[in-house]
Chain A
């Protein structure tokens, strides 16, 4: 069993998913597990959910210089998931060229194993990839 790179990454058998929370008082969806709502301050209203695995590209940058040992370039993306959550991650399967990356492009979650900087073994991570029909 490969360890997840972040605690929001959960596995059930061979199926992986991202943990989220929904506030029963205001309806806000959060990435990760939590007890109190940061938006409306309601307590004891959070329900655990699995986050949506599709969304659209809200903002991005092409990272050309990172911390020592990290492979560049890569696309650091902010994605609006279709359930209303907002998730940061690496966008793959797209040329890292700002002239061709389109705001709003449809993406989906994919699962990868990769060796992060500072580690000597692979970890389970999520990435964004274009949905079928999106120009890659």
Chain B
């Protein structure tokens, strides 16, 4: 079966845009992606639009009201931190199914500052443990510590690495070195995650133009195309402790197994990864979930620089969610933008040399809700 390609992709610089609207942020990225493809909205046959904060607010249609009401079908998508990637995958499936040749996918989010959730009514917070995101992801890190002896400093080093990477990325929210002492010494939120080990709540948008192989050839766009080698998703499999500690590993392992099978590749074939470092603890655990190393070896990978720029498999060279920022609905497509940019050899100072195959991963959910995971493998044409 023929492949689907990304022929245009871009993102706005992540930051705080309190004076903008969600549709206007989405529109900006959409136009950037169209320009990157050298196409117009009139070439698009369908739109998949991902957003969480206004999930019932018809964001896709409101975006088209700003840039062109061409009456194309709009599918608005909400799926926790996998929202943007789910929209992208919807576009991919519609082309794979032969329904369309050219489809636009957009992810967008406008966020407040501070802890997500809380607010409103009587809460068991504090009486029955914690329902904050930092605490949930602290548990995942502490589970790894309990099994393998992973240390606070090893988790903190993830944040040092990703903040360093972000100094090379002009689209990152923050672009500042954070030495280990600064990361470990910043405000403790939920041990071992300090403030600098929590992702940044920012506003952002990203968009991609997906196209069938037939159409790419017909329009002569192969020179700017990136092949979608595989697209997979999962929800959380049954895990014994999931009611006590939401599970992000089980879903990631299922999706990783599926995506390697679909691609006909193994973890050893991957040249760079953008994975879901919503908290520093999560990144180390996902090294193992994605098969970048054997179980128990994630601490060694961060210690020996394997996952830093210049290492065997650089992870989150964009700066990751920790420094680039994490606008929930936009993150999935922004990850794909990063990997596609490396595969096109256009990543500038942070370019992963010789990158041919890259992986993107997002996983999200919450206490009592379950998990959504999406993984894509992209290939240089």
Taking Cβ atoms with an 8 Å cutoff, the residues of A that contact B are 5-6, 28, 30-32, 38-39, 58-68, 70-72, 74, 76-79, 86-90, 98, 103, 112, 114, 116-119, 123, 125-127
Contacts and interface: CB of A to CB of B under 8 A. Distances in A.
Nearest to A29: B240
B187 A64 contact: yes
Contact of B139 (A30, A74, A76): A76
A61 B127 CA distance: 14
A88 B132 CA distance: 13
A87 to B, nearest CB: 6
Interface stretch (B37-45, B116-124, B269-277, B371-379): B116-124
A71 B128 contact: no
A38 B146 contact: no
A64 B189 contact: yes
A118 B124 CA distance: 9
25 contacts: A5-B122, A5-B128, A6-B124, A38-B238, A59-B139, A61-B138, A63-B132, A64-B188, A64-B190, A65-B189, A66-B118, A76-B130, A76-B139, A77-B129, A87-B244, A89-B128, A98-B192, A117-B122, A118-B120, A118-B122, A119-B122, A123-B122, A123-B127, A125-B124, A126-B128
B268 interface: no
Contacts of A119: 122
Given A64-B187, A114-B127, 4 more contacts: A66-B130, A90-B127, A112-B127, A117-B125
A118 B238 contact: no
Contacts of B121: 118
A22 to B, nearest CB: 14
Nearest to B238: A39
B181 interface: no
Which of B124, B240, B245 has its CB near the most chain A CB atoms (within 10 A)? B124
B17 interface: no
Chain B binding surface, main DSSP class: loop
Nearest to A98: B191
A116 B127 contact: yes
Given A59-B143, A78-B139, A103-B146, A66 B125 contact: yes
B123 A67 contact: yes
A100 to B, nearest CB: 12
A123 B122 CA distance: 10
Contacts, number: 133
Contacts of B245: 59, 78, 86, 88
Contacts of A59: 139, 142-143, 146, 245
B143 A58 contact: yes
A117 B117 CA distance: 14
B139 A60 contact: yes
Given A58-B146, A67-B115, A125-B124, A90 B129 contact: yes
Nearest to B134: A65
B117 A61 contact: no
B193 to A, nearest CB: 8
A61 B135 contact: yes
B126 A90 contact: yes
B251 to A, nearest CB: 14
Q: Which 5 A-B pairs have the closest CB atoms?
A: A67-B118, A61-B138, A76-B129, A76-B130, A88-B244
Nearest to B127: A125
B93 to A, nearest CB: 26
A67 B117 contact: yes
Contacts of A127: 127
